[in-house]
Structure 1
Amino acid sequence: MLALRRAANPIRSHSAIIVVARACCTKSGRLSTNTEQGEQCHVNHYWRSDGCYTPNSFSYGHFTSAFAFLWSRNLSSQTSTTSSDEEDGFSDLDIPPEAENVKDEELMPEGELSEERSEEAVDNSIEFLDAEVDSKSEKNRLRKRSSVSSVLTIIQEAPRHAMAEALDKWVEEGNKLGRDEAFVALLNLRKWKLYPKALQFMEYLEATKHIDFVERDYSSRVDLVAKVYGLHRAEKYIEKIPPVYRGEMIYRTLLANCVATSNVMKSEEIFNKIRDLGFSLTTFACNQLLLLYKRVDRKKIADVLLMMEKENVKPSLFTYKLLVDVKGTAKDISGMEQIVETMRVEGMEPDILIQAMVAKYYIYAGLKDKADAILKKIEGDGVKENRDACKVILPLYAALGKAEEVERVWKMCETKPRLDECLAVIEAWDKLDKIENAEKVFENMFKTYNKLSAKYYNALMKVYANHKLLHKGKELVKRMSDNGCRIGPLTLDALVKCYVEAQEVEKADSILKKASQRNQMKPLYSTYLTLLDNYAKKGDIHGAEKIFYRTRQVGYLGRMKQYQLLLQAYINARSPAYGFRERMKADNVFPNKAVAAQLASVDAFRKTPISELLD
């Protein structure tokens, strides 16, 4: 962590008071929930509104982390005041945190590689014992595959009240239902986001003792309970877990789910509980806090880094990805470069994803030569020898406007393309406004693989949404349905955007409402923001309040962007927003600089030079 301090810019003259406040951070302490003033005392420690956790009795010893101070000052001065989940580049973690064989840095949330990563999220919570897999016998492998297929069919087709009976009957017929079969079945259920079915299956496994539950299995069930019934029910279930299995993995699973919902109060509470129970502080838990504060309060990132240094918690690759992304979105290119250099000093070479992220922010900053140099480095000796680079560099070459480079790289892949490369080139043609090229790639995929999952339709749907091609979007959705594809959140997001861009806002609103009710799915946060933004621009307070309410209903709470857009509706309607500050306070959301300015402009009791004269 010492090397990480170098990532900050040189110190400028700052208030001595701030320096003293940061200097007080010499011991790790408890996190607290925010109050109106941002300071709420605990028994021994508290978390200040500026993100600094300090002991009650101040110690004016040595300054523990200059980097923490510098990071906070640099970030607060450069971060855009209108950040959103889309700008973050990271969205909610959907990969279960309980898998010990999945490294922290591999838990890349959906945003940076597009939200479609959630379609590929898998559960490693039930330990897969490789020793139990008989690699010598092809017959045994086929039998296992057949068993898993049968189990999945039963789980999917059986009604909720009859699943246990159907599984019991299948086992009585002489079929095996052990850890191997359970693991693969749960893996697929999670991959398809069939969380209620997965939870019911785990309840069955626990009740029937088909497998002996260990901490990893209980942790997986905690994760499913949180996803299906919410955090409160997950906490209640934890109380029922035998104490011997109620370890750190259980609570970090709950922590990840708290962070996934951006619930600051609950996340800090669970983090404190992990410390209070005496569990060692892990990189995973710290990464969860970094991810949370990246979304809701970036000034606190410095304090998490300070805590990691004090507790000797080593940053992982994912930690650096988060920090590079934060610096990039803050347009702090120098800081971003120093983070990357720090990685190398610490003996951790940036992977392709980090290099691609750096190239992306170079492009956004107008440093095209630097971006091009990184892309050439990623490409290495050529895409033939380095096929993994293709899916990364295709969209970035498109962002640089280099159609000839996209064509060159794609030509190398076109003869035998991989599915992820097809997705990448569709995105690239979309950025270059070459819709026919994107359609051609999709049709060639369809001919080659015959049956495609919704993920690949969604790539083309996104092209149609970005280019306001409502008619083509509707046709593609019908084609998806005819081919047996589930219309999921990503498809719905693109379809709603198509209708909004075609100025059919009421129809988009109606489709969103029906889809969320009939299909019992949770639409993306960005889908609601699309409608909320449109109503805000029109100054339609009724429409904006309606979408804001529905956003909260489905569980998107405490996110600054939705308040900003709702306030904008009041501003554009030239209407005062009575009690808005109190509404935010009730949701434990505190105005940033941009929102504070919006609140001032819609304050019915605001004093102006004219009002003071008239008074």
Structure 2
Amino acid sequence: MWALRRASANSVRVHGLNLAAFRACAGLGTFGSHAEDKSSNPEQTTCALDGLLSSKRCYHAARIPSRFSAGSQTFSSRAGAKSGGEEEADLEEGFSELETHEVTETTGQGDIEDDSTSVSESELSDDESLEDALETELIEDLAMDSAKTESKKKRVLSDLCKLIMDEPGHSISDALDKYVADGKELSQSEIYDTLLNLRRRKMFGKALQLSEWADKKKVINFTEREYASRVDLIAKVQGLQKAENYIETIPKSYREEVVYRTLLANCVGATNVKKAEEVFNKMKDLDFPLTAFACNQLLLLYKRTDKKKIADVLLMMEKENVKPTRFTYQLLIDTKGQFRDIVGMDQIVETMKAEGIELNFRMRATLARHYAAAGLNEKAEAVLKEIEGDDLEAKHWKRAILLSLYADIGNADQVERVWKACESKPHNQESLAAIEAFGKLKNVAKAEAVFSKMSNAVKKLSPRYYTFMLKVYADNKMLNKGKEFLKQMGDSGCHIGPITWDAVVKLYVDAGEVEKADSILQKAAQQNSQRPLFTSYMLILDQYAKRGDIHNAEKIFHRMRQAGYVSRARPYHGLLQAYINAKAPAYGIRERMKADNIVPNKGLAAQLSLVDAFKKTSVSDLLD
């Protein structure tokens, strides 16, 4: 297997894997382990990982209580149940990689470190990409072999699948009953194939209805895999609690590892830290074998919520001899890149290659993005040449990512060249990528031309086109153009969701109209069932913080909590900065953080010292 150590730790025995890259993984506190209580010394973030292969490990109670140990495969946390989920569910699979990659910066003090629980919009994009990969793996895992074989044999959808997809009503049971009454025979393989196709199209509600109908009519025989599939659909349609309740109704002999693994995947998809760790512990208590899939789920969860815990998962994988997969390496590469640790990122790539795992397209795109963000344009271009290969005409997704990444390094000539290759008949991904790319290059007229071309080519544009064009106006601080475009969006009748709200908020914030952005976001949250993105709130909170506007900063902070964004350190960074800029003490702030299970990192500790109403000074010591 392999070992993960801090750069300062002594070398230890490893099993056939280059240790250098994983020393880099733990360096600079990026993947540091929670080895001691930091409440008495908030600046001491971690200790070396010497001796952590022992199961007797001590953690801060608010982070990972003593129930976790690398040896026992157990995690536990009291984190908030709804700490994330900022991603927009309807993003086209694979398209999330087209988003820009910039790390969200904390405001104020220069020494505030990048918080492990902060999530930038770009990070969400990468997480969506990673989550798509795990979701695909889950779907393939739950699908019957016969369905996968049948699906590969024929691209044409079955009559049953067409019937269900076209059925407009909330219930499809009557249509299915009529289908059978008309003499149509239903085989198990056809049911499985239809379920697989509905899942791939994210039509989970109809897939659940079909599964329930097939069970009721005894059309298929349920095994642990069918039960796991039902758990997955219930979690996606009705929520985690309903899925957990359903597991209790499954015959005990069928409550296998795949059932709980499926629930775990949905907990991670909802970024529900507490529930995910409870399910993982339950799997341990039931003596299920530890799988790479379960570990990868935890890695994705902690990448989003607390990167310091990544080291704990890696150590656990070493202890239990769980071999890292391509996904494991991809996640580590992306996490190191987000911390601008390019040396560490490259070392992980070398380690992966030494294990015989080659870079795929997704990994190369991630590398190129991080090289570009670090200003290493030559290295980024070299990777982009590898992505392009000899045939630019072959794949539309390849051209889409090239458009975005060439724009990241400011290479307008290459953007034009790639766009010309697909301009005659562009795919949706290519058009959206072109709008974004020209926007990055400040060529707003060209972005508008691409939008106009697509607008004339189809009857009704996808809301994503409007959102991408609006972001171009926002990024280029063109408020009047943006306002005109918003009216055009309204006249078109297109659906407006959280990603569009985020673009509108950015448009007004960048124009200095923070109160207007605040008002728009509040109305959007009140009038819709969907909650705004985390980044939308932070854009406004950071602006109020810069002004030292404590009243409005507290108001936004409260609304974030109401929206479910709790147990996160990033909002506290913004709130504390408002008190600092107002030169006002923040009474009770430590107690509030403690109630939210927030352990101050170095940056938060520095801010707290500046707003402490009872801090000691040389004069106060004399008076005492």
Q: Given the two structures, how large is their TM-score scaled by the length of structure 2?
A: 0.76
Answer whether contact 2:340 2:374 (CA < 8 A) is retained: yes
Pick the aligned partner of 1:552 from 548, 558, 561: 561
Gapped regions of structure 2 (runs ≥ 5)? 3-15, 30-34, 37-45, 77-110
Pick the aligned partner of 2:367 from 336, 342, 358: 358
Q: Check 1:415–1:320 CA distance in 2 against 1; reply closer, same or farther (3 A cut).
A: same
Matched, 1:40 2:66: yes
| Counterpart for residue 275 of structure 2 | 266
1:298-346: CA deviation from partner (whole Å, max 9, x where unpaired): 3332232222223222222221111111211222211111111112111
* Amino acid paired to 2:564: G
| Counterpart for residue 537 of structure 1 | 546
How far apart are the structure 1 equivalents of 2:56 and 2:465?
A: 45
Answer whether contact 1:522 1:554 (CA < 8 A) is retained: yes
Matched, 1:424 2:433: yes
Q: Check 1:170–1:601 CA distance in 2 against 1; reply closer, same or farther (3 A cut).
A: farther
- Greater alpha carbon shift after TM alignment, 239-248 vs 316-325: 239-248
Pick the aligned partner of 2:248 from 239, 243, 248: 239
| Counterpart for residue 85 of structure 1 | 119
Answer whether contact 1:99 1:125 (CA < 8 A) is retained: no
| Counterpart for residue 149 of structure 1 | 165
* Amino acid paired to 1:35: A
- Greater alpha carbon shift after TM alignment, 438-447 vs 475-484: 475-484
SS in 2 for 1:358: helix
| Counterpart for residue 24 of structure 1 | 51
Answer whether contact 1:363 1:399 (CA < 8 A) is retained: yes
How far apart are the structure 1 equivalents of 2:246 and 2:295?
A: 24
| Counterpart for residue 82 of structure 2 | none
Q: Check 1:80–1:128 CA distance in 2 against 1; reply closer, same or farther (3 A cut).
A: farther
Pick the aligned partner of 1:307 from 302, 312, 316: 316
How far apart are the structure 2 equivalents of 1:529 and 1:245?
A: 45
1:253-277: CA deviation from partner (whole Å, max 9, x where unpaired): 3223333444444333322221221
Matched, 1:454 2:481: no
Q: Check 1:459–1:136 CA distance in 2 against 1; reply closer, same or farther (3 A cut).
A: closer
Matched, 1:249 2:258: yes
* Amino acid paired to 2:147: L
Aligned positions, number: 555
Matched, 1:320 2:329: yes
How far apart are the structure 2 equivalents of 1:202 and 1:463?
A: 43
Superposition map of 1:363-378 within 5 A: 363-378=372-387
1:78-136: CA deviation from partner (whole Å, max 9, x where unpaired): 994345211645336765967656579xxxxxxxxxxxxxxxxxxx7688725667979
* Amino acid paired to 2:558: Y
Gapped regions of structure 1 (runs ≥ 5)? 50-77, 105-123
| Counterpart for residue 10 of structure 2 | none
* Amino acid paired to 1:7: A
Answer whether contact 1:126 1:220 (CA < 8 A) is retained: no
Matched, 1:402 2:411: yes
SS in 2 for 1:240: coil
| Counterpart for residue 435 of structure 1 | 444
Q: Give the deviation of 1:173 after TM superposition.
A: 6.7
Identity of aligned residues (%): 49
Superposition map of 1:324-339 within 5 A: 324-339=333-348
Answer whether contact 1:96 1:253 (CA < 8 A) is retained: no
Answer whether contact 1:458 1:494 (CA < 8 A) is retained: yes
User: Which one scores higher on RCO, CA 8 angstroms, separation ≥ 6?
Assistant: 2
Q: Check 1:79–1:539 CA distance in 2 against 1; reply closer, same or farther (3 A cut).
A: closer
Superposition map of 1:451-490 within 5 A: 451-490=460-499
Answer whether contact 2:58 2:66 (CA < 8 A) is retained: yes
* Amino acid paired to 2:540: L
Q: Check 1:7–1:477 CA distance in 2 against 1; reply closer, same or farther (3 A cut).
A: same
| Counterpart for residue 620 of structure 2 | 611
